[in-house]
Amino acid sequence: MIMTEPASRKTSHAPDDAPARTEPAPTEEADLVKRARRGDLGAYDELVRRYQERIYATIYHMTANHEDANDLAQEAFIKAFHALKSFKGGSSFYTWVYRIAVNKTINFLKQRKHKAAMSLDDLDFNAEHDPDLVALISEKTPRREVGLTELQEKLNVALQRLSEPHRLVVTLHDVQGLSHEEIAKIMDCNIGTVRSRLFYARQQLQAYLSDYVK
């Protein structure tokens, strides 16, 4: 999965003019949290880099807007830093940050009076070669890229038609690959609720995208 790649592996993407970033030592998360709680911003920076992609992706898939996702993801990490003292360690830091981000996003979407125009991220190069996607696109389509872009837009429109909890479950499970148990912890509900929401959300999506899925 592209969006869940650990941040530490992304050092190769750093621009040439940026200072060379050394590969972070495999530090335990609990230790980083403890240091961050004492005000060590270096430790917190490491925690942010570990989870920034997953948090951003979740918010982005919920809002379908890059700018909103950027703001909300940053605010979620800032809020998490200030709330670190209340983090009791009952769950993993990862789940805890996820919950902050998810709550923040849902509140944002509720407060947003009108649906903002979508500001979608571009598809990466690998999309064209994804066997699952290739199977979905007609072989007779002269320009496959156009087909994928259209499909992307239709898919996002359909997702935006779902309610926030249903969209969240689909995002976390079918897009980000989280387990039912993890989703239940993040959404603070039981696994049965997660399953039923996922089933209903898929049914809805299938109806909205009936032209593209069998």
Partner 1 sequence: MSQDSQDFESLRRLLALKRHEQPPPGYFNDFSSQVIARIKAGDQAEENPLERLFWEAPWLQRLWAALETKPVMAGAFGAAVCALLIGGVVYSGGVDVQPRDVAGTDTTITLPMQIANASVATEPLLVTPAALSFSGPEASALPESMAAESSAASIFGLVPRPSAQPASAPLSPLRLSGGN
What are the residues binding partner 1 (CB under 8 A)?
1-3, 7, 10, 13-15, 18, 41, 44-45, 48-49, 52-53, 56, 60-61, 66, 70, 73-79, 81-83, 86, 100, 103-104, 107, 120-124, 126-127, 130, 132-133, 135-136, 148, 151-152, 155, 159, 170-171, 174-175, 188-189, 199, 202, 205-206, 209, 212-214
Nearer to partner 1, 56 or 98 (CB): 56
Nearer to partner 1, 94 or 212 (CB): 212
- Rounded Cα distance, 48 and 178, in Å: 19
- Sign of the CA dihedral running 86, 88, 106, 154: positive
Residue 180 CB: number of other CB atoms within 10 A? 17
Nearer to partner 1, 116 or 127 (CB): 127
Nearer to partner 1, 6 or 115 (CB): 6
* CB of 103 vs partner 1, minimal distance in Å: 6
* CB of 128 vs partner 1, minimal distance in Å: 9
* CB of 29 vs partner 1, minimal distance in Å: 16
- Sign of the CA dihedral running 75, 76, 79, 81: negative
- Rounded Cα distance, 2 and 149, in Å: 18
66 CB-near residues (< 8 Å, 6+ apart): 60, 119, 120, 121
* CB of 114 vs partner 1, minimal distance in Å: 19
> What is 30-48 written as a DSSP string?
HHHHHHHHTT-HHHHHHHH
200 CB-near residues (< 8 Å, 6+ apart): 166
Nearer to partner 1, 31 or 190 (CB): 190
